[in-house]
Amino acid sequence: MGQNPGGGLRGALHAGYFAKDASFTPRLYTSSALTVKLKKMRSSTDNDASQKELEDELMDVGKRLLKLPSSTDEILTLLEEAEGILYGVWQELARHKASALYPLMKALITDELLRHTDINIQVAVASCFNEITRLTAPTFPYNDDQMKEIFQLFMVALKQLSSESGNNYVRALQILEALAKARSCLIMLDIEIDAMIVEMFQLFFNIIRSNYCSDVFQYMETIMTMIIEESNEVSLELLRPLLDSVRLDNKNISPISWELGKTVFDKCMTKLRPYLKEAVKALNLKVDEYAEIVAILCQDTSNGQNMVRPSTCIS
């Protein structure tokens, strides 16, 4: 997608993005043990006195994570404790008492946690980072190189959407929600992780299922649309998974993936039109093998033809 100076999250801050949704409260979707735990945390921390208690608890759990136990189970227990505390924290507390977050932020970014090999720990760490990103918005909680590693963990977590149940699924769903509603997906443009954005688009088209709750479709569509619209340019690499999703044969193989791709095309028509024309020519595609929207966007207005051949796609 190329350079995005002044765009993405940092540029968007000056344009008023994030102001409305940065302090959103994540929804809880299932009846897993984690969901029950987080619901209890939310209901028990809805007053100023409880927030003061959380300030002390944040400091404490952060300090304990800095002295990481050797047992994977013990580490996971500590991370779940941190996750629950973060979930109950108001954004106002994080802004005015940033020092309370510091030990935990420092512990999470250590190699021992950031690069842990256990999948459950990876997803729990990603979930904690997700909450910290929510609480510190619109400020970046870490430097660009660290944010790149954090988004790599988000990718690990998002793959857990395929499980459709369990604690890691709940965490993945909440990360997906934050990327869409808090617009934190735009950070990906600022830190220039184009290959990971392409990977994320491919992942969405591969794992979307018709039996998912409607929010999953909406969040994926919002994330992809937002990234396309805020990009300075749309690369051929990013167009490939979009085009693959709306191939006619995919309509039968994965109707929900087809619908997701078509929705993104519909919402980004103006942005995609010039890049799509170039892509159809470069890849030597026959537009009649794709959803009608592809032919419409490639229409040669000089002769009014819809089913444009690659040789005449560029007007």
Asked if residue 140 lies in contact with residue 187, where contact means CB atoms within 8 angstroms, the answer is: yes
Compute the CA torsion angle 196, 181, 65, 50 (nearest 10 deg): 180
Average pLDDT, the chain: 84
pLDDT at 251: 95
First-to-last alpha carbon distance for the chain, in angstroms, is 23
Nearest to 16 by CA among 193, 186, 176: 186
DSSP code per residue over 205-230: HHH--TTS-HHHHHHHHHHHHHHHHH
Q: Break the chain into its structural domains and give their ranges.
A: 1-18+190-315, 21-182
Spatial CB neighbours of 102, under 8 Å, sequence gap ≥ 6: 62
pLDDT in tens, 263-300: 999 999 999 999 999 999 999 999 999 999 999 999 86
pLDDT in tens, 185-232: 999 999 999 999 999 999 999 999 998 888 999 999 999 999 999 999
Q: Give the mean model confidence (pLDDT) for residues 69-87.
A: 95
Q: Evaluate if residue 12 carries a pLDDT over 60.
A: no
pTM of structure: 0.84
Nearest to 300 by CA among 290, 283, 281, 291: 281
3-state secondary structure of 105: helix
Q: What amino acid occupies position 43?
A: S
Alpha-carbon distance 61 to 67, whole Å?
Answer: 10
**41 or 276: whose pLDDT is higher?**
276
